[in-house]
Amino acid sequence: MKSEQLSIFPEEFVDIESNGNGNVVDSNEYFRTKLERKYADRLYENLKIGSLVSYQGNKNLPLLRLYRYKEAFSYQFVRDFFNEFNISKKDYVFDPFCGMGTTLFTSCINGISSIGTDKLPTGVFIAQTLPQLLTLEPGSILKAYEEAKRRLPDAQEAEIAEDVRIMKIAFSPENLSALRKWKTVISESPQPFKDVLGLLYLSVIEHCSYTSKDGQFLRYLPQKEIFTPVELLDKKVVEAEQDLLSLQKLGWNKFPSYPDVFQGDTRDLSDIPFKREPTFILTSPPYANRYDYTRSYSLELCFNFVNNFDELKKLRFGILRSHIESKEEEGDSSPHEALTEILENLYRKHQIQKLNNDRIPIMLLAYFVDMHKVIKEWYRICARDSVVAMVVDNVRFEGEHVPVDLILSDLAEREGFDVEKIIVARYKGNSSQQMGKYGRFPVRESITVWRKK
Ligand SMILES: C[S@@+](CC[C@H](N)C(=O)[O-])C[C@H]1O[C@@H](n2cnc3c(N)ncnc32)[C@H](O)[C@@H]1O
């Protein structure tokens, strides 16, 4: 084995016969089996909620349907959890990985105070803007839109992050120019329309482009059918207006409690101005599945939130280390013996036949180091007896099953949480490549439920 390959594994795995305590590793699934046994009586299946942990459930809901944040969970999922845990106006709800803000929006319309953080400005912007729509009179978005449209022919092209590679190929010259002019006229609109039209604008960018958010990637599809910004915005504004009317009829906007949303890193919440200790966390972190939010949302980031490639890269290396370009940091070391076992097995496999992607071990180690910090931070800031409910996906690489739900729950228990239950919402098949090589192995998507003692 070449020495540079060794560097993908932490030093402690160089002696593959030892588990770090000087003992011979006699079973390559020993610690995972132990975990499965330990938590067997706290694992419950509720496959009915499987479809609710995804964004699909929001497709026909007023306002939430306006932005397709693929990684969001549904309104009904949040509402069901609020009901199950009797969340009321006395509570203070926190979503530390808030994304488009489904937890916060649900809190808002039920009059429950909430606060959220996300490391990416796209998520923060959507989560802040959606509740603002509750304040608008029907007809007002259309009026602001028509006004912006009137100014379009004379508008200058706004600055965008032009030096990012995907921006050079993602658009026809006409659509690129039109999108830049729309950015200008929208940014000149008065508030709250600047934000509201800005949200609708963000929601159409992908459909104006030769790209598609597809699985883990932003795919470049030069043959894709594209639409002009004005075609798409005309439709979006009609949708938004219909939603304002529906909301009026539903009486949804009677007593909202607007959330506080901050761009922040949940690994260190020391700067977040909580009004009091949160009593309920309902959240979903990035999964340890190589997905990179700064790539999937690079167009939206490049139009509105970063000025150049350097700023985009800074975001990429500033988010939770769940993607393949994640960098190792000094002092990273496995926080759990089940992870150590997985990394040792990957190391063995790598010695026999090079791994498909030799950055997987770094990503897994970094992911659990980061999530361990997150768990400690949540324990620190939450009120006593508060509940933390978190949607997570297990993963499998090179035939190695990574029970993310159990490893994180065990770390949470060590930090002082009671692990009340782990609800299995879905089983996902592994990739066809893995299936061919290692057989079919359904992996859980679960909701871990912990309580601060
Ligand atoms: C699965 S999504 C959450 C979706 C959310 N539940 C919703 O309904 O929209 C995970 C989010 O974590 C964010 N994120 C990544 N690293 C973060 C960090 N260190 N701190 C806070 N948020 C982070 C991502 O930008 C992404 O929006």
Residue reference for tokens 């930090």? 415
Residues 6+ apart with CB under 8 A from 290: 216, 322, 323, 324, 360, 363
Q: Cα–Cα distance between 250 and 45 in angstroms, integer? A: 33
C-alpha 258 – ligand 1 centre gap (Å): 20
Whether residue 57 has its Cβ less than 6 Å from ligand 1: no
- What is the Å distance from ligand 1's center to 323 Cα? 13
Token duo for residue 312 = 């985009």
Q: How far is the CA of 187 from the centre of ligand 1 (A)?
A: 26
Report whether 344 contacts 16 (CB < 8 A): yes
Ligand 1: residue of 81, 103, 203, 319 to mutate (most ligand atoms within 8 A of CB) is 319
Q: Is 118 in the pocket of ligand 1 (CB under 6 A)?
A: yes
Nearest-angstrom CA–CA distance, 52 and 73: 7
- pLDDT for residue 27: 42
64, 119, 128, best to mutate for ligand 1 pocket (most atoms within 8 Å of CB): 119
Residue 235 near residue 141, CB atoms below 8 Å: no
Q: Cα–chain-centroid distance for residue 356?
A: 25
The 8-class DSSP code of residue 402 comes to: E
The runs of H, that is alpha helices, within 7-57 are 30-39
pLDDT at position 239 is: 97
Note the pLDDT of residue 355: 86
The whole-angstrom separation of Cα 178 and Cα 157 is 8
Task: Decide: 116 in ligand 1 pocket, CB within 6 A.
Answer: no
Cβ of residue 404 lying under 6 Å from some atom of ligand 1: no
What pLDDT was estimated at residue 328?
Answer: 92
Q: What is the largest CA-CA distance in the chain?
A: 75
Cα of 71 to ligand 1 centre, how many Å? 9
Burial of 225 (0-12, 13-18, 19+ CB in 10 A): exposed
Count the Cβ atoms, other than its own, within 10 Å of residue 397.
Answer: 24
Q: Average pLDDT per run of 10 along the chain, which is 453 residues long?
A: 35 40 55 96 93 85 93 94 96 98 95 97 97 93 98 97 96 98 98 98 97 87 96 98 90 79 98 98 93 94 98 96 92 96 93 87 96 98 98 93 97 98 88 62 92 95
Render 330-384 in DSSP notation, one character per residue. TT---SSHHHHHHHHHHHHHHHHS--SSTTHHHHHHHHHHHHHHHHHHHHHHSPT
The answer to whether 128 touches 195, Cβ cutoff 8 Å, is yes
Residue 105's H or E segment, with its range, is helix 102-109
**Cβ of 265 less than 6 Å from ligand 1:** yes
Secondary structure of residue 143 in the 3-state scheme: helix
- Give 125 Cα–ligand 1 centroid separation in angstroms: 13
320 within ligand 1 shell (Cβ under 6 A): yes
* Ligand 1 contact, 105 CB (< 6 A): no
Residue nearest to atom 12 of ligand 1 (CA): 97
Residue of 52, 71, 108, 283 to test ligand 1 pocket, by largest number of atoms within 8 Å of CB: 71
At 19, phi and psi to the nearest 5?
Answer: -95, 20
φ, ψ for residue 9, nearest 5 deg: -115, 145
Q: Is 323 in the pocket of ligand 1 (CB under 6 A)?
A: no
Picking from 321, 210, 259, the residue whose alpha carbon sits closest to that of residue 100 is 259
pLDDT at 253: 58
CA distance 218 to 361: 23
| Ligand 1 centroid – CA 22 distance (Å) | 39
Residue 375 Cα to ligand 1 midpoint, Å, equals 15
Output the pLDDT for position 404.
98
> For residue 10, is the peptide bond before it cis, meaning its omega torsion is within 30 degrees of 0?
no
Instruction: Establish whether residue 106 lines the binding site of ligand 1, counting it when its CB lies within 6 angstroms of any ligand atom.
Output: no
| Ligand 1 site-directed mutation target among 68, 71, 97, most atoms within 8 Å of CB | 97
Q: Determine the distance separating the centroid of ligand 1 and the alpha carbon of 99, expressed in angstroms.
A: 5
Q: How many CA atoms lie within 13 A of 213 on its CB side?
A: 20
Task: Give residue 6's pLDDT.
Answer: 30
In short, whether 119's Cβ falls inside 6 Å of ligand 1 is yes
CA of 72 to the centre of ligand 1 (A): 9
| Contact predicate 331/337, CB 8 Å | no
Helix (H) / strand (E) element for 312: namely: helix 309-316
Q: Say yes or no: CB of residue 291 within 6 Å of ligand 1.
A: no
**Can you tell me which atom of ligand 1 is nearest the CA of 266?**
20
